Chains A and B, each alone.
Chain A
Amino acid sequence: MLKKILYKTFCIAALVAAMSFTAPTGSVTITFNNYVGSSLLKLDNTTYKNELGQTYTVSKFKYYVGNIHLKKSDGTEYVSDKYYLINEEEAMSKQITLTNVPEGNYTNVSFTLGVDSLHNCSGAQTDALDPVNAMFWAWNTGYIFLKIEGKSPVSTQPGHLLEFHIGGYMQPNNCIRRINLTIKNGMQVSNKTMLHIKADVSELFKTPTSIDFAKLSSVTDLHNATTIANNYADMFSIQ
């Protein structure tokens, strides 16, 4: 009798172990491709035009993404709570690899553009959230969620600079935006899966608010920050 029970227990344990060890997973590499309209972003020497026809160049483009959720068609989710700093200057930073993602058909990807309030209040952090990455405000604690710098001849700043440092995690100046993208034909995760996401710089300066560089060329604190945040909420799309 005892032997039988032991045997059964062993079988169940083995089955559970086998299931948990062999549940098939793969990796998903998300590549963030930065664009201006329909062309890939080129730093410094390429001139672009905003909605008002004002020309501008981009010398720096960095932003935080994190808390990535991948959702299956059956509603189950894969969650990564890490933060990543996407920096146009560093090709490697534009690729994020998520590991141990259960195989299956995924229909939705969502992530935070910015850094959630908890991580804005948690003291000294490291890796992507290390304050040495120049994406941190010391005098009014908090991360800069998105930084874009460049030039426009109509800018009234010294050197005709454009400087948009967008951050702020507290109401009414909260610039955290949750990005939710539907993967049209689904994404079948198996061994190594790739997902390409487009970030369009031109969206920063339009919809809902068209930015006139002659009037607004610098945002470096909470003034006007949410205007840009509302604009960047729709800058991402699946490629």
Chain B
Amino acid sequence: MKRKHIYISALIIACVISLAFIGSDKYWTITVNDVKLDFPANFPKPIYNFKDNTPTPAGFTLGRKLFYDPILSRDSSISCGFCHQRIAAFAHFDHPISHGINGLLGRRNVPPLQNLIWQNSFMWDGGVNNLEVQPISPITNHVEMAEDLGHVVVKLKRSKTYVAMFNDAFGDTVINSQRLLKVLAQFTGLMISNNSRYDKYIRGEDTLSAAELYGLKLFRDNCAQCHKEPLFTDNSYRNNGLKYDSSFHDSGRMAITGNKNDFMKFRVPSLRNIEMTYPYMHDGRFHTLKQVLDHYTQTFIRTPTLDGILVKGISLSEQDKTYIISFLKTLTDKSFLYDRRFADPNFVRN
């Protein structure tokens, strides 16, 4: 009987403690330290430098609320965070292509959101030229959020919570598309991944295994020309030998430039957190990293716009591929994937 009492008491205490933790404002509160612009020393200068948009705790908190709020979609069903999931470095976990409003399918794989301020353009075809205007695409796309940007502003103006939050962030209650887009850029622009085991190894804080190190060497010899360190992309568009899929009707960068030489060229994606962002390629056609490497050594197809590096060919043994994959997994950045600043604030509390 006594034992039972102790057991129950312990249980109650544990519940109280965990409730206090979950309910604690501290977990959700964004402080000045949380929004400090602290760029990694080994990264180049960012392209988006937050000019006229210095992140503030109130601005970032508002951006976070908007990112996770389906109010941005026509029928309040889809938020940014619906397809951009934190656990997958803000890609859509295990989705080749994604479903938006009314379950409609898009035609491209959701790209992860990380180190966006070092990107000179956005989308698989590079059609968007500034981080601030990027959200207009998914908000207005008919198979994603299918909403009118002006109507989003109208809806926000009706909400007492948002009027108060815009007031906190900007010092007055004006709500317009510019302010909406700027605070979203504060939130997504601070999604910086530079704390993987690879990064710690580069900084001399951690070691890599012999297999991982050999993988890094093979990577540098065969892959790094396009997937350039430290961002693991050179921000270019290339045809990597994927077969054109007429059911998607997607010619890549050619649709943006109108130039036939850009047929089937797509953005070289960063490989950071690649372990978590499967499936791969612009249409999510490969499920595993092994399939991707097999594509580069064997199954790519030759077309007039094929990238020069593949024209020459990449040769890797089966053993080499396992070494490269073990290296790629050192790019997983757990402190980024579990960063509380980017968690959905509606998940536990409203």
**Bind each other:** yes
* Given A131-B149, A132-B153, A173-B258, A141-B178 contact (CB < 8 Å): no
Contact B181 A138 (CB under 8 A): no
Contact B177 A131 (CB under 8 A): yes
Contact B129 A141 (CB under 8 A): yes
Contact B130 A141 (CB under 8 A): yes
Contact A130 B258 (CB under 8 A): no
Residue numbers in B under 8 Å from A122 (CB-CB): 130
For the complex, give the distance between the alpha carbons of A137 and B301 in Å: 33
What string of 1s and 0s marks CB contacts (under 8 Å) between B156-196 and chain A? 00000000000000000000111011100100000000000
Contact B178 A124 (CB under 8 A): yes
B324 CB to closest chain A CB (Å) equals 35
For the complex, give the distance between the alpha carbons of A101 and B186 in Å: 39
Pick the contact of B130: A123, A139, A223 (CB < 8 A): A123
Pick the contact of B133: A134, A138, A173 (CB < 8 A): A138
Contact B136 A136 (CB under 8 A): yes
Contact A124 B177 (CB under 8 A): yes
For the complex, give the distance between the alpha carbons of A129 and B120 in Å: 22
What string of 1s and 0s marks CB contacts (under 8 Å) between A139-163 and chain B? 1111000000000000000000000
Residue numbers in A under 8 Å from B141 (CB-CB): 138-139
Contact B127 A132 (CB under 8 A): no
B128 at the interface (CB under 8 A from A): yes
B:214-245 near A, CB below 8 Å: none
A109 CB to closest chain B CB (Å) equals 30
A76 at the interface (CB under 8 A from B): no
What is the interface residue range for chain B against chain A?
Answer: 20 to 34
B333 at the interface (CB under 8 A from A): no
What string of 1s and 0s marks CB contacts (under 8 Å) between A159-178 and chain B? 00000000000000100000
B125 CB to closest chain A CB (Å) equals 8
Question: How many contacting A-B pairs (Cβ < 8 A)?
Answer: 65
Classify the interface of chain B: helix, strand, loop or mixed. Answer: helix
Count A interface residues, CB 8 Å.
Answer: 21
A120 at the interface (CB under 8 A from B): yes
For the complex, give the distance between the alpha carbons of A99 and B136 in Å: 34
B116 CB to closest chain A CB (Å) equals 13
Residue numbers in B under 8 Å from A136 (CB-CB): 136
* Given A138-B136, A223-B258, A130-B178 contact (CB < 8 Å): yes
What string of 1s and 0s marks CB contacts (under 8 Å) between B244-266 and chain A? 00000000000110100000000
Contact A131 B176 (CB under 8 A): no
Pick the contact of A124: B153, B182, B255 (CB < 8 A): B182
Residue numbers in B under 8 Å from A126 (CB-CB): 176-178
For the complex, give the distance between the alpha carbons of A126 and B132 in Å: 12
A15 at the interface (CB under 8 A from B): no
Pick the contact of A138: B137, B176, B178, B256 (CB < 8 A): B137
* Given A124-B177, A125-B178, A131-B136, A141-B149 contact (CB < 8 Å): no
Residue numbers in A under 8 Å from B256 (CB-CB): 140
Pick the contact of A131: B127, B133, B185 (CB < 8 A): B133
Residue of B127, B178, B256 with most partner-chain A CB within 10 A = B178
A121 at the interface (CB under 8 A from B): yes
B140 at the interface (CB under 8 A from A): yes
Contact B258 A141 (CB under 8 A): no
B64 CB to closest chain A CB (Å) equals 18
Closest chain A residue to B258 by CB distance? A222
Residue numbers in A under 8 Å from B129 (CB-CB): 120-121, 141-142
Residue numbers in A under 8 Å from B146 (CB-CB): none
Residue numbers in A under 8 Å from B258 (CB-CB): 173, 221-223
Residue numbers in B under 8 Å from A173 (CB-CB): 258
B89 at the interface (CB under 8 A from A): no
Pick the contact of A140: B127, B148, B150, B181 (CB < 8 A): B127
Ordered by A's residue number, 5 sampled pairs between the chains whose C-beta atoms are within 8 Å are A123-B131, A130-B176, A134-B150, A138-B139, A139-B141
14 additional contacts, CB 8 Å, given A138-B128, A139-B127? A124-B182, A124-B185, A126-B176, A126-B178, A130-B176, A131-B136, A132-B176, A132-B177, A134-B150, A138-B136, A139-B128, A221-B258, A222-B258, A223-B258
Residues of B within 8 A of A (CB): 123, 127-133, 136-137, 139-141, 148-150, 153, 176-178, 180-182, 185, 255-256, 258
